């Protein structure tokens, strides 16, 4: 098929998906396009990277200075989000009360700017990170938070998945690349194969969850069409996951998906989910010590050399003389003199620790690492509460949280404009939800909601939003 024809068909397909989405008249506002643009940009490439990929004569900029165009676009989105929140009269006191550990972590990150050797660059990066909570609060202040999250992820998948297939198959100058040591990779619309694997992991967990709730809806044409859509995206995501060859993302997807299915079983006591997690962690550590389970998994996935290289990098990073208590400053490590030292005996220049926890330690020290762990524990407690009160939303939170936690063992995603970092904010933050039906919601959707509520009533579990909306 000629590339131009493939592009035309892809654009037509995406146009159909959005027309279908908007035709369902979802209970969301136009402000949802702000998080959508934010998610697509951070999940794919920066504006200047896209312009350069399309052969526009533009410079991406240096690692410490960045690019003014990128900064302007991200800052404009953040300001627009703040304006929406101001118009909606958000209670920032409530935000602080409900997200204490997250706020404390962000405040410490801000303080850590002042001992960075690259104060201006560090400050710019911190401002960009503020876009994550701003966009999540836009979601929380939508008429229906649960539907807003579902529409956000679906709309992002409508763009990122089909165009990744298109670029890999028909536009290899965009969808493929060569690493510094010569290996060819498939990256689609993402910046690299691991970034591609990361958003496929998120979309895979979402469409699995979407299938579980759609399957239980009343048997009608809307349900049938939605199941067909889910099947189509499952096939596309599976194809891309194979092309990405990102073992970490695939393993984390399998783990998150298994736990999503497990917590929905009636014989699982969700009140003891914390105990289950502790026992599972202890069992894995014991099995790895006795039988080398982790090495076995690495060998099965065919990533022995990659994992060995990362272990070597971790050892070298821990041996560097950084400040163990406070770190080198917020997101400053890879701007410093250590980079040339690490690249001296390699054929490439590393730009991350390939471990989110080690990355946090290098930049923020033990204090920052402990605050991150406290934030993860606080998020798990919120997820546990959701599993007891809103199973459908809780199981998605649980699957994504576990996947993100384990993904950061070999990837550094607790930083900057990472898609997984943004998704973590979605499941970690909390704000009182004011839910109501929009006045123009068509009768067919309303009837479907009512029938689906009756279907879920047999669970005897309180539920809202995501429990009864399959649009």
pLDDT tens digits, residue range 63-116?
A: 555 688 888 999 999 999 999 999 999 988 999 999 999 999 999 999 999 999
Rounded average pLDDT over 383-400: 91
463: phi > 0 → left, psi -120 to 50 → alpha, else beta; which?
Answer: beta
Higher pLDDT, 25 or 141: 141
Bridge partner list, 147: none
Mean pLDDT score across all residues of the chain = 84
Higher pLDDT, 219 or 259: 259
Q: Is the pLDDT of residue 131 over 90?
A: yes
Which residues, other chains included, contact 277 with Cβ-Cβ below 8 Å and sequence gap of 6+?
380
Q: What is the pLDDT of residue 180?
A: 63
What whole-number distance in Å separates Cα of residue 365 and Cα of residue 327? Answer: 4
What whole-number distance in Å separates Cα of residue 110 and Cα of residue 73? Answer: 22
What whole-number distance in Å separates Cα of residue 31 and Cα of residue 37? Answer: 11
Burial of 243 (0-12, 13-18, 19+ CB in 10 A): buried
Reported confidence tier of residue 217, pLDDT bands at 50, 70, 90: confident
Q: What is the pLDDT of residue 151?
A: 93
Rounded average pLDDT over 267-274: 85
SS (HEC) of 372-392 = HHHHHHHHHHHHHHHHHHCHH
Reported confidence tier of residue 51, pLDDT bands at 50, 70, 90: confident
Q: What is the pLDDT of residue 302?
A: 52
Q: Is the pLDDT of residue 305 over 70?
A: no
Least confident of 38-47, 256-265, 344-353, 446-455: 446-455
Domain ranges of the chain: 3-467
- What is the sign of the dihedral through the CA atoms of 439, 442, 445 and 451? positive
Q: What is the pLDDT of residue 219?
A: 80
| Sheet strands (E) in 236-313 | none
Reported confidence tier of residue 218, pLDDT bands at 50, 70, 90: confident
Contact 203, 195 (CB under 8 A): no
Least confident of 49-58, 314-323, 359-368, 453-462: 453-462
What whole-number distance in Å separates Cα of residue 46 and Cα of residue 68? Answer: 12
Contact 328, 114 (CB under 8 A): no
- pTM, rounded to two decimals: 0.86
- What is the sign of the dihedral through the CA atoms of 117, 121, 125 and 130? positive
Q: What is the pLDDT of residue 294?
A: 66
- What is the sign of the dihedral through the CA atoms of 404, 405, 408 and 410? negative
Q: Is the pLDDT of residue 406 over 80?
A: yes
Bridge partner list, 451: none
Segment (H or E) for 88: none
Share of the chain above pLDDT 70, in %: 85
Higher pLDDT, 313 or 164: 164
Tracing tokens 């579980």 back to the chain, one arrives at: 212
Rounded average pLDDT over 169-190: 83
């Amino acid at each position: 098929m000629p590339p131009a024809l493939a592009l035309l068909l892809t654009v037509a397909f995406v146009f159909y998906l959005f027309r279908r989405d908007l035709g369902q008249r979802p209970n969301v506002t136009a402000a949802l396009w702000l998080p959508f643009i934010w998610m697509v940009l951070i999940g794919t490439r920066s504006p200047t990277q896209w312009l350069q990929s399309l052969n526009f004569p533009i410079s991406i900029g240096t690692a410490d200075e960045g690019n003014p165009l990128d900064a302007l676009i991200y800052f404009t989105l953040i300001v627009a989000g703040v304006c929406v929140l101001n118009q909606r009269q958000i209670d920032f006191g409530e935000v602080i009360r409900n997200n204490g550990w997250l706020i404390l972590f962000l405040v410490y990150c801000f303080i850590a700017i002042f001992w960075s050797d690259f104060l201006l660059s560090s400050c710019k990066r911190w401002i960009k990170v503020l876009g994550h909570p701003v966009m999540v609060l836009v979601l929380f202040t939508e008429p229906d938070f649960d539907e807003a999250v579902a529409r956000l992820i679906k709309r992002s998948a409508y763009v990122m998945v089909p165009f990744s297939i298109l670029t890999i198959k028909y536009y290899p100058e965009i969808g493929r690349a060569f690493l510094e040591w010569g290996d060819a990779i498939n990256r689609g619309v993402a910046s690299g194969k691991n970034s591609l694997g990361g958003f496929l992991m998120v979309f895979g967990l979402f469409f699995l969850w979407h299938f579980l709730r759609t399957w239980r809806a009343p048997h009608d044409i809307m349900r049938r069409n939605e199941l067909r859509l889910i099947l189509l995206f499952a096939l596309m995501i599976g194809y891309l996951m194979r092309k990405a060859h990102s073992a970490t993302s695939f393993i984390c997807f399998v783990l998150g998906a298994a736990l999503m299915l497990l917590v929905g079983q009636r014989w699982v006591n969700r009140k003891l989910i914390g105990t289950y997690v502790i026992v599972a962690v202890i069992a894995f550590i014991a099995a790895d010590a006795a039988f080398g389970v982790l090495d076995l998994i690495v060998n099965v996935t065919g990533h022995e050399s990659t994992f060995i290289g990362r272990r070597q990098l971790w050892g070298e990073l821990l041996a560097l003389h950084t400040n163990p208590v406070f770190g080198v400053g917020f997101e400053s490590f890879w701007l410093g003199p250590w980079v040339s030292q690490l690249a001296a005996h390699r054929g490439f220049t590393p730009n991350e620790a390939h471990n989110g926890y080690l990355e946090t330690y290098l930049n923020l020290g033990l204090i920052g690492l402990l605050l991150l762990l406290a934030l993860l524990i606080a998020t798990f407690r919120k997820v546990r509460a959701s599993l007891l009160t809103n199973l459908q939303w809780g199981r998605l939170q649980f699957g994504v949280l576990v996947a993100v936690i384990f993904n950061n063992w070999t990837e550094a995603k607790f930083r900057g404009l990472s898609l997984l970092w943004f998704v973590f904010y979605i499941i970690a933050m909390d704000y009182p939800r004011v839910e109501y039906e929009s006045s123009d919601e068509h009768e067919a959707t309303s009837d479907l909601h009512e029938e689906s509520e009756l279907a879920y009533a047999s669970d005897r579990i309180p539920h809202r939003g995501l429990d009864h909306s399959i649009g």
